[in-house]
């Protein structure tokens, strides 16, 4: 396949490779690194999975990882990440405040985790496996029928993969990257950009596997939410545990979070779930196109979505830089109590000192 045909089919890869080839090499103000984590095959054509890092090379600097395109139909997630990368590339030439921040923190971008799914217009990867159901972790609670992940058949969506086969290359690449990145940092925040659920933009945090068990770092998550909502009172996000809507097996962030707790590292993952149903309501013709359920089709609507989330991501950059102002602070227990009574009324209170 000729490159121009590939880019026509997968414009997000075209944008990303343009950035890698033409923009990143010109940044002189902070360290820049592009890695190919692995390759996946699109009809026998190898496609690299890129991770781009900007900023501090010290493995003990705080970090922020931003991921997009886990689900192939949710193109807008990749575009949101690419928009931020573009904006930072432009600003790094002159914005001394940003340069200063990136001397102290590390940003890592994985804008296109599932290029084959995106090119083929699948939610799953090229092997028909849903990457967000592919982690070796089971919910012990009743999960949503099919949506919660299943092992019946790869012909049905939300397929977890065959038992015992290990993770798919894309899922493994994400897990390895996060574990490597977060191994020595005092805090690693992660934002994973999805779309498709409901009509509002939501920020979800683990667990996806349990409605009743709060994550141990729920006080810090709640604190982060308070900082964001107080600074931006007119924003429109709903902040909540994912399990409030449905529980599922095999969530990569549940898996990574549990491993981080077990290993004593500091990972706080958040999923941005952009509500797409209002795009459909405003433009019912979108229903005619499968992609339209997950991706805004009108240019002005795409622009609005790309603009909207820059504030959130900018906030996360600042929260990473200033992690000592809030992370594991003296208010953590108090926020943990508030969050538990709000979202997990039947849970036994967490004692962070245990
Ligand atoms: Zn998704």
Spacing, Cα 179 to ligand 1 middle (Å) = 21
Spacing, Cα 248 to ligand 1 middle (Å) = 13
Least Cα distance to 310 among 69, 149, 144, 86 occurs for: 86
Q: Which residues pair with 50 in a beta bridge?
A: 36
> Which pair of tokens denotes residue 305?
């979505």
Spacing, Cα 81 to ligand 1 middle (Å) = 14
pLDDT band at 198 (very low <50, low <70, confident <90, very high): confident
Q: In which residue are the tokens 């807008």 written?
A: 76
Question: Where along the chain do its domains lie?
Answer: 3-343
Spacing, Cα 237 to ligand 1 middle (Å) = 17
For residue 93, say if its preceding peptide bond is cis, omega within 30 degrees of 0.
Answer: no
Least Cα distance to 35 among 109, 116, 92 occurs for: 109
Distance CA 224, CA 133 (A): 27
- Per-residue pLDDT at 199: 84
Spacing, Cα 301 to ligand 1 middle (Å) = 19
Spacing, Cα 99 to ligand 1 middle (Å) = 32
Mean of per-residue pLDDT scores for the chain: 93
pLDDT band at 305 (very low <50, low <70, confident <90, very high): confident
- Per-residue pLDDT at 347: 76
pLDDT at 74 over 60: yes
DSSP structural state of residue 150 = B
Spacing, Cα 31 to ligand 1 middle (Å) = 31
Spacing, Cα 299 to ligand 1 middle (Å) = 21
Cα 159 → chain centroid: 20
Lowest-confidence region among 163-177, 274-288, 313-327: 274-288
Least Cα distance to 61 among 108, 111, 95 occurs for: 108
Contacts of 62 (CB under 8 A, 6+ apart): 104, 105, 106, 185, 186, 187, 188, 189, 320, 321, 323
- Per-residue pLDDT at 352: 59
- Per-residue pLDDT at 195: 94
Question: 214-225 in b/e burial notation, b at 16+ Cβ within 10 A?
Answer: bbbbbbbbbbbb
Distance CA 75, CA 81 (A): 10
Residues with CB under 5 A from ligand 1 (ion): 71, 74, 194
- Per-residue pLDDT at 303: 86
Helices (H), the chain: 3-9, 11-18, 75-91, 96-104, 115-120, 169-182, 218-231, 252-263, 277-282, 299-321, 332-343
Spacing, Cα 298 to ligand 1 middle (Å) = 20
Is residue 29 within 8 A of residue 97, CB to CB? The reply is no
Spacing, Cα 184 to ligand 1 middle (Å) = 29
Spacing, Cα 10 to ligand 1 middle (Å) = 18
Distance CA 78, CA 150 (A): 26
The mean pLDDT value for 188-195 works out to 97
Distance CA 266, CA 217 (A): 9
Distance CA 295, CA 291 (A): 6
pLDDT at 160 over 80: yes
> Which pair of tokens denotes residue 336?
């943990």
HSE-CB for 346 with a 13 A CA cutoff: 4
Percent of the chain residues past pLDDT 90, beyond the cut: 81
pLDDT band at 299 (very low <50, low <70, confident <90, very high): confident
pLDDT at 354 over 60: no
List pLDDT tens digits, range 16-62. 999 999 999 999 999 999 999 999 999 999 999 999 999 999 999 99
- Per-residue pLDDT at 1: 76
Distance CA 227, CA 318 (A): 11
The mean pLDDT value for 215-230 works out to 97
Least Cα distance to 126 among 35, 47, 66, 37 occurs for: 47
Spacing, Cα 56 to ligand 1 middle (Å) = 30
Spacing, Cα 57 to ligand 1 middle (Å) = 30
Spacing, Cα 343 to ligand 1 middle (Å) = 23
Spacing, Cα 267 to ligand 1 middle (Å) = 20
Spacing, Cα 93 to ligand 1 middle (Å) = 33
DSSP notation for 292-304: GGTS--SHHHHHH
Spacing, Cα 74 to ligand 1 middle (Å) = 6
List pLDDT tens digits, range 80-128. 999 999 999 999 999 999 999 999 999 999 999 999 999 999 999 999 9
- Per-residue pLDDT at 350: 63
Four-way CATH pick for 3-343: 3.40.50.300, 1.10.3720.10, 3.40.630.10, 1.10.599.10: 3.40.630.10
Sheet of 202-205, strand order: 32-42, 45-55, 106-110, 63-68, 188-195, 267-274, 202-205, 238-241
Spacing, Cα 131 to ligand 1 middle (Å) = 9
Spacing, Cα 159 to ligand 1 middle (Å) = 14
Contacts of 325 (CB under 8 A, 6+ apart): none
Spacing, Cα 230 to ligand 1 middle (Å) = 28
């Amino acid at each position: 396949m000729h490159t121009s045909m590939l880019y026509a089919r997968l414009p997000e890869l075209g944008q990303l490779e343009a950035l890698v080839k033409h923009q990143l090499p010109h940044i002189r103000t902070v360290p820049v690194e592009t890695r190919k984590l692995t390759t996946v095959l699109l009809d026998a054509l190898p496609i690299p999975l890129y991770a781009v890092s900007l900023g501090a090379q010290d493995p003990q600097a705080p970090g922020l990882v931003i991921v997009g395109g886990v689900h192939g139909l949710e193109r807008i997630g990749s575009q949101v990440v690419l928009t931020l990368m573009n904006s930072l590339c432009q600003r790094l030439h002159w914005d001394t405040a940003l340069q200063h921040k990136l001397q102290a923190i590390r940003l890592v971008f994985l804008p296109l985790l599932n290029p084959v799914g995106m090119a083929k217009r699948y939610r799953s990867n090229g092997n028909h496996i849903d990457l967000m159901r592919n982690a070796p972790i089971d919910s012990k609670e009743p999960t949503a029928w099919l949506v919660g992940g299943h092992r019946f058949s790869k012909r049905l969506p939300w397929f977890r993969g065959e038992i015992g086969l290990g993770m798919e290359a894309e899922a493994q690449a994400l897990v390895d990257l996060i574990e490597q990145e977060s191994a020595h940092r005092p805090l690693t925040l992660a934002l994973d950009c999805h779309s498709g659920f409901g009509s509002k933009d939501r920020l979800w945090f683990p667990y996806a596997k349990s409605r009743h068990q709060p994550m141990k770092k729920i006080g810090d998550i709640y604190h982060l939410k308070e900082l964001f909502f107080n600074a931006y009172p007119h924003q429109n996000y709903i902040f909540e545990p994912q399990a409030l809507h449905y529980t599922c097996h095999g969530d990569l962030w549940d898996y990574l979070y549990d491993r981080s707790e077990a290993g004593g590292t500091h990972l706080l993952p958040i999923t941005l779930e952009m509500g797409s149903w209002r795009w459909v309501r405003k433009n019912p013709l979108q229903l005619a196109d499968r992609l339209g359920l997950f991706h805004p089709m009108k240019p002005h609507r795409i622009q609005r979505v790309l603009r909207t989330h820059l504030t959130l991501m900018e906030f996360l950059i600042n929260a990473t830089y200033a992690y000592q102002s809030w992370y594991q602070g003296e208010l953590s227990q108090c926020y943990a109590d508030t969050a538990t009574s709000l979202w997990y009324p039947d849970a036994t209170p967490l004692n962070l000192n245990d």
